[in-house]
Structure 1
């Protein structure tokens, strides 16, 4: 994510009041502008990932639920192994 020390420009945006107030309440010492910039940066990352997924699926076909579950299982097993290894080291 880009830091606030990079060149910035002031923008005027419109958003629902409840969302703006919730963001202001959560923004902390970094301020609302920084909080909103971080949220927009995360959305751009998600949009870019979705673009990559669309390109990959166009080339290789959609990912099946079975493939997704197999990857989830592998991730779960890896986390479980890490947890066990961490407990063994303690």
Structure 2
């Protein structure tokens, strides 16, 4: 069962509304906008968490970010490789 909904009136620039309507597909504009707002709330929550962490531990350096990006990329590559190996071994 989905969450209860309520009707709201919002104002946005026409070009943005038309682009959203064009991209919303079968789910409709309301679902498209709700999804976009949910993603923005997730980003806002993450930014708040980062601010708290940086206040406690100091800012993350560019070097630390790069190391983590490289680890993530390596993990994704390993995952793709293991999927490819598993699908051909029959």
TM-score of the superposed pair, with normalisation by structure 2: 0.88
- The unaligned stretches of length 5 or more in structure 1 are none
Q: Encode CA deviations 1:36-74: one digit per residue, 9 max, x unaligned.
A: 111111100100000000000000000001100100111
Q: 1:74 aligns with which of 71, 75, 83?
A: 71
Cα distance between partner residues in 2 of 1:14 and 1:7: 22
Segments of 4+ in structure 1 off by > 4 A? Answer: none
1:49-68 to structure 2, matched below 5 A, reads 49-68=46-65
Cα distance between partner residues in 2 of 1:86 and 1:40: 34
Cα distance between partner residues in 2 of 1:82 and 1:47: 30
Question: Relative CO higher for 1 or 2, CA cutoff 8 Å, sep ≥ 6?
Answer: 1
- The unaligned stretches of length 5 or more in structure 2 are none
- Give the total of aligned pairs: 87
